[in-house]
């Protein structure tokens, strides 16, 4: 296929090309690790996948989500929920057969569970300019386990909305999904006291309903 002079020329550039490819892979993996690590700091579970669905990297938050309903098999994410797994399979098929310029599905994948709240997987495409040619992360899957209790910084809530410590504790519990009754019991206060605190929280945050308050608090988190 090549004559002697061409073979000699290829031999001379073989080592530099190998070094360049290795360096590019290392840089790409470092960049990917930085992205998932940053998401780890704000408690967001993230899995980076390539064009054919292979897992390129994940952070510790994602590792904690793995188990019966979400598992890694043959270096791919598999879901126990059949419908959700079919949706994920369709997504991976689009990654494999569509152009980089083709938009990916924006609808989240909802993993239903029998005795727990669902897991929501959102797809964040990786723009072509941000990819390493030797690493090829095509998308990042952001995983949110609705069963887990979100962490809210009570000091931040208090400073943002000028809440007292007791009001901030109540707001944080409501934001995690507790009812007013459950929050009052956990705090060891009367239900009437908790309701009065909630009225004050509504005034200070400019909200009128508990659902509106919770949505606002999740934006501060």
| Phi and psi angles of residue 80, each rounded to the nearest 5 degrees, phi first | -70, -40
Average pLDDT over residues 118-126: 86
- Residue 59: predicted pLDDT: 87
Q: What is the mean pLDDT of the chain?
A: 81
Long-range CB contact pairs, 19-25, < 8 A, 24+: 21/134, 24/132, 24/133, 24/134, 24/135, 25/132, 25/134, 25/135
Q: What is the pLDDT of residues 173-215, one digit of tens each?
A: 898 878 899 999 989 999 999 999 999 999 999 999 998 998 8
* pLDDT for residue 134: 43
What pLDDT is recorded for position 78?
95
pLDDT in tens, 94-113: 888 877 666 666 688 999 99
pLDDT at 18 over 70: no
- Three-state SS string over 91-130 comes to HHHHHHHCCCCCCCCCCCEEECCCCCCCEEEEEEECCHHH
- Over residues 29-35, mean pLDDT: 54
Which of 22-26, 134-138, 183-187 has the largest mean confidence?
183-187
pLDDT, residue 15, reads 65
Q: What is the pLDDT of residues 70-96, one digit of tens each?
A: 999 999 999 999 999 999 999 888 888
Backbone angles phi, psi at 186, to 5 degrees: -65, -35
Q: Quick one: pLDDT at residue 51? A: 82
């Amino acid at each position: 296929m090549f004559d002697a002079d061409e073979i000699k020329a290829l031999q001379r550039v073989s080592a530099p090309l190998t070094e360049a490819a290795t360096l590019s892979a290392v840089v790409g993996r470092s960049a990917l690790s930085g992205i998932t690590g940053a998401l780890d700091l704000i408690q967001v579970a993230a899995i980076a996948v390539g064009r054919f669905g292979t897992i390129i990297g994940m952070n510790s938050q994602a590792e904690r989500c793995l188990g019966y309903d979400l598992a890694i098999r043959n270096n791919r994410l598999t879901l126990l929920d059949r419908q959700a797994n079919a949706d994920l399979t369709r997504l991976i098929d689009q990654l494999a057969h569509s152009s980089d310029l083709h938009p990916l599905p924006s609808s989240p994948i909802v993993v239903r569970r029998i005795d727990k709240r669902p897991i929501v997987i959102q797809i964040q495409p990786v723009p072509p300019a941000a990819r390493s040619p030797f690493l090829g992360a095509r998308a990042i899957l952001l995983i949110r386990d609705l069963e887990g209790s979100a962490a809210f910084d009570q000091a931040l809530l208090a400073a943002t909305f000028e809440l007292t410590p007791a009001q901030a504790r109540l707001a944080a519990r409501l934001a995690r999904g507790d009812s007013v009754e459950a929050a009052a019991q956990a705090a060891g206060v009367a239900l009437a006291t908790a309701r009065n605190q909630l009225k004050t929280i509504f005034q200070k945050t400019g909200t009128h309903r508990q659902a509106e308050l919770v949505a606002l608090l999740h934006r501060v988190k």
